Structure formats: C-alpha cells, structure tokens
Structure 1
Amino acid sequence: MQDISVIILTFNEEKHIKRCIESLLLFTDKIFIVDSGSTDKTIQIAESLGAKITFQPWVNHAVQINFAIQNTPFKTEWYMRIDADEYVLPELAEEIKNELIKIPNTINGIYIKRRVFFMNRWIKHGAYYPIWLLRIWRHGMATCEQRWMDEHIKLFSGLTMQFKNDFVDHNLNNLTWWTQKHNIYAINEVIDLLNIKYDFRNFESVEPNFFGSQEQRTRFLKVKYASIPLFIRPIIYFLYRYIFRLGFLDGKQGFIWHFLQGFWYRFLVDAKVYEVYHRVGRDKKAIENFFKEEFNKDLTK
C-alpha cells in the first residue's frame, strides 16, 4: 500500500462504487467518501469495502471536494480525487504502487489521462483522448477552484509530472439519466459562462493560458468560447469536434456522444442564457437575483 488516500463524492452510485473502490484497493486502503444523501445501497457497499464515509449536503463539486480535503480522516503524503463512475486501470494502479515513492520533493502534482467510455465504446476522437487531469497532489499543496462547473485541482506551488497509464470514465446509467443530469449541469454551465462576462465573484482559479497545462488551455478556450454569439458557438464546437478532430471515427456511439455532449448540451446552455436575458435583461444585479429566486443559487459566494 502506498502513502496515498482517495476522495470520492457519491450520490446513489450503487452501480459504480464497487468497481471504483476495488480498482483503488490495488494500491491503497485509505478511501474517503463524501456522500450527499444516497438512498440506494451506495453506503452499504462502500462500508463493506472498508471506505470511511461522511455526509455533506450537496452544493456543487468544488464545495464537496474542498470539504473532503479539509475533513479527510487520512493524513497521507498524497491525495487523489476520482469520481464514483470512474475507475483506475490495473496498469495505472501498478504505476502508482511502483513510482509514487520515487517522486522528488519538487513535484507536488501528477497528471493522469482519462478515457471516456459511452455506450461501452471508448471515445478516442473529437479531442476527447487523451485528456490530462491533475488528479493526484501532495498533502497541503492544492485546493479545488471554486467554480460552479468544470472545476480543477489547483496547486499552490511546485512542479507537476505525468503518469503513463489511464483511468476510465464509464457511466453505466441509461441515456434518460444522462440527459436529465446534463439538464441540471446546464444551469451551472450558464453561471460559469456568465461569470466570465460579469465577474460575480473573485476566487482562486486556474489561469487561462493556451500554451499551459491541459486545464489552463481548457480555461483559455472557454473564455474565447464565451465571446462567440449565442447559438453560433455550439454549431462551431460540434463541427470542430466531429469533423476537424475526427469524431466521426468513433462510430454510431461516437455520433450520439459528440452530438449530445458537443451540440445538444451546448445549445441547451445557450437557450438557458437567452432565457436569463429574456426574463431579466443584462443587468448584473438582476441576473444575480434571478438565480437566487429561481434556483436558490447565490452567485456571489
């Protein structure tokens, strides 16, 4: 076992949690779950596999992750974040076991590659692989940026490195669940895009930089995306992914994925932005009041 503990956020994840935890037990038995009120067998399964569990009412991913970092019962040298519907490949588990202890003190963060599976197909194209994410960091050296959407782990200082092997994002729920989840995500995405324009609050964030790390480049492109006119940008984004980044090579499952995630979801977000402007106009305070009244979301916190 390596000197690393893993943080997992859960809510009704009985389909995924056993697969996730068992993949982690190959290199650590220190697993900390922050649950937001599961009513299925998530807790029983996780406890049977030795995980430590606490409850925290849901706000957003960033709040939950930082709560986990601050309240973990494990005081290990390294921490790792993984979602319940993700799992570590045996090759990555072996790499963590063999390489983590060799890492010099100048390294405070480790990037690993994510594979996305959709309808049991690995989405290899459309700029979806490899996606490098900072998921392992040294104790006391990172926080999760306080964003409503697309939050990243941000290092306070130090260098980073990359591991060679992958973890997998493979959700087993049906398409109805997926579309319902993304309808909810769309509200947070609207807030994130509007925050680029209106700057509702200041917070520690990844610096946009096209030539920087994966998350810095992603943030740079999102800022540019936010400046493109409504309803034009989802069309451009889908064509970029499906045609120019060869998403069509991912077959029928890939077409469904790139269309829904790259166009339908982005179009839905734009429709919700339009709804905000249509309902209350473009005044900053009016928009803040709209989200507080309609969704009980305080954009200034």
Structure 2
Amino acid sequence: MVVDSGSTDKTVEICREYTDKVYHRSFRGHIQQKNNTLDLASHEWVLCVDADERISPELAREIEAEFSANSSVYTGYFLPRRTYFLGRWINHCGWYPDYKLRLFKKDLGRWGGINPHDRVTLKGGATKNLTGDLQHFSYDDIFGQVNTVNKFTTIFAEQMEEQGTGFGLCSMIFRPMGRFFSMYFVKMGFLDGVPGLVISVMGAMYSFLKYAKCWEMQNTRNKNEGRK
C-alpha cells in the first residue's frame, strides 16, 4: 500500500505497476499523515517505510524468519536504520543504530511525538530489536541537508508555539554546543571523517535554529498582542 501526498513526478504511475492500493492524502503533518495511512491498512501487521528508505535484503530475510518462528510472541519490532550521506554509510554521530519501531500490530500502535519527529507508541506487549538494516537515503548533498534542516526546524518551532512552550537564551547558546560535543566526540562522529564533521555541525545548527525560531515566533506574537 502506498499513500502519496501530491508528488509531481512518476511516483504514482510506478507504484501502480506493483499494487492497486495507491491512495492520495493531502499532507497535514507527518504524524497525521502516518495515522491516516495506518487507518487504511487492512492486515494485522503493518511495516512502515518512508519514501527515502529501503528494506535491506538481510532485513527482509530476518523478518520472514521471525514471523515463521515467533509470529505471536511480539507486538512490535525495532529496525536499525542506517543512513547514507556524502558517499558513505554513517556509523557514528548517534546515527547508527538509529532504532525505529516500524513493524508492529496495527491495532496496538499509533503514531505520536512532535512534528516532524514522529514515533510509534504501542499500547502493550513485548518488542524486539532486529539486526538487518533499514536503509535511509536522506540527503543527496549538503544543500539538501540544509534545506531539510530549515524546513524541519520551522515545523518544530510551529509545534512548540502551538503548545505554548517557551525557550530562553540559554537554550540557544548551550544546547547547540552540547549537541556538537555529543555527536562529534561522545558519539565519535570524527570516525566518519568529513561527513561526520558535517553532520555534527548541522546537528548543532538544527538545535540552534529550532530554539531561535521558537523565540522569533513568541517575540512576534507578544508584539502583536501588545498592539491590541
């Protein structure tokens, strides 16, 4: 089953070569879109894969073996996601193994979190970590990563503004510094070479921008309310 939110290339045509279950849903947020997709599923189990992700052959074989042996033991499976960036697989920076709960019983799982960082919450039951990789092709280049960082930090700030969550100057100063130190040194991003440095700097920039945008939105709102 494929849910498309208005792609302008040949995505829909290609998908229809493999399944007749191709649906269109206007995009109203990552969490909302994935829960709408979950409602369309008709089987007991669901495996959620984003457009920039692939199931590795090793993971596919592992899932098949798991279900033939223990189909009733667990209610969900965490998949280790490995990201490909700047010509190599990233093994550090906290990017691997980036476990994601993507295979679970439909009736027990629901998407939540804060847009754009969605996650699945299970109502109960035991889970298991698999070892085969969920391959993630997130950015073609640094330009694409910068665009994504800008877009995602705006979404995050809008969510925080809606919830009325405030952040001070200290968040803008110290959290980006802590993020870089954690990714590059503690989580050994330096072992990934230049890509590891880029990822760590971008991580710090992501942290700074989301809090700076929160401040900007709150400041604008306060000024507008002061004019009333």
Q: Please indicate the TM-score interval, normalised by the length of the shorter structure.
A: 0.7 to 0.9
CA offset digits 1:203-254 (Å, max 9, x no partner): xxxxxxxxxxxxxxxxxxxxxx999622321111111111222111111122
Partners of 2:3 and 2:183 lie apart in 1 by 34
Give the Å deviation of 1:91.
Answer: 0.7
Report the counterpart of residue 175 of structure 2 in structure 1: 233
User: Aligned in 2, Cα 1:126/1:175: closer, same or farther, shift over 3 Å?
Assistant: closer
Matches within 5 A, 1:42-61: 42-50=11-19, 52-61=21-30
Backbone CA RMSD of aligned residues? 2.5
Rounded Cα–Cα distance in structure 2 between residues aligned with 1:132 and 1:153: 12
Q: Structure 2 CA distance, aligned partners of 1:197 and 1:238? A: 27
Q: Residue 140 of structure 1 aligns to a residue in which SS?
A: helix
Using the TM superposition, give the Cα deviation of residue 146 of structure 1 relative to its aligned residue in structure 2, in angstroms. Answer: 5.7
The answer (yes or no) to whether the contact 1:193–1:226 under 8 Å persists in 2 is no
Does the alignment pair 1:254 with 2:199?
no
Secondary structure in 2 matching 1:96 = helix
Distance 1:170 1:226, change over 3 A: farther
- Cα deviation, residue 51, structure 1: 5.6
Query: Does the aligned pair in 1 maintain the 2:53–2:137 contact within 8 Å?
Result: yes
Q: Tell me the equivalent position of 1:274.
A: 215
Alignment-derived partner of residue 96 in structure 1: 63
**Alpha-carbon distance, 1:256 to partner:** 1.4
**Closer, same or farther in 2 for the Cα pair 1:282/1:127, shift >3 Å?**
farther
Task: Kindly indicate whether the alpha-carbon contact (under 8 Å) linking 1:116 and 1:128 is maintained by their aligned counterparts in 2.
Answer: yes
Please report the TM-score for the alignment, with normalisation by the length of structure 2: 0.88
Q: What is the DSSP-based 3-state SS (H/G/I as helix, E as strand, rest coil) of the residue aligned with 1:84?
A: coil
Indicate conservation of the 8 Å contact 2:80/2:97, yes or no.
yes
Q: Which residue of 1 aligns with 2:140?
A: 173
- In the comparison of the two structures, how many residue pairs are matched? 225
Deviations for 1:84-136, whole angstroms, at most 9, x for unmatched residues?
A: 11111111111111211322534211111011111121111122211111110
Question: Relative contact order (C-alpha < 8 Å, sep 6+): which is higher?
Answer: 2
Change (3 A) 1:138 1:274: same
> Which sections of structure 2, spanning at least 5 residues, go unmatched?
none
Distance 2:188 2:120 in 1: 29
Instruction: Name the aligned partner's letter for residue 133 of structure 1.
Output: K
Kept in 2, the 8 Å contact 1:76–1:139? The answer is yes
Q: Secondary structure at the match of 1:188?
A: helix
Counterpart for residue 83 of structure 1: 50
From the superposition, tell whether residues 160 and 168 of structure 1 become closer, same or farther in structure 2 (CA, over 3 Å). Answer: same
1:51-110 C-alpha deviation (Å, 9 max, x unpaired): 6211111111111111011123xx223111111111111111111112113225342111
Distance between the aligned counterparts of 1:136 and 1:196, measured in 2?
Answer: 30
Partner amino acid, structure 2, of 1:43: V
Stretches of structure 1 that go unaligned for 5 or more consecutive residues are 1-31, 200-224, 287-301
Report the Cα distance in structure 2 between the residues aligned to 1:138 and 1:101, rounded to whole angstroms: 16
Within 5 Å, give how 1:178-257 maps onto structure 2. Answer: 178-193=145-160, 198=165, 229-257=171-199
**Letter of the aligned partner of 1:55 in structure 2?**
H
Residues 131 and 45 from structure 1, CA distance in 2 versus in 1: closer, same or farther, beyond 3 angstroms?
same
Deviation at 1:194, TM superposition (A): 5.1
For normalisation by structure 1, the TM-score amounts to 0.68
The DSSP-based 3-state class of the residue aligned with 1:48 is coil
Q: In the alignment, residue 8 of structure 2 is paired with which amino acid?
A: T
Aligned residue in 1 for 2:3: 34
Question: Measured at CA, do residues 120 and 226 of structure 1 come closer, stay the same or move farther in structure 2, by a change above 3 Å?
Answer: farther
Over 3 Å counting, the alpha-carbon distance change for 1:69 and 1:118 in structure 2 is same
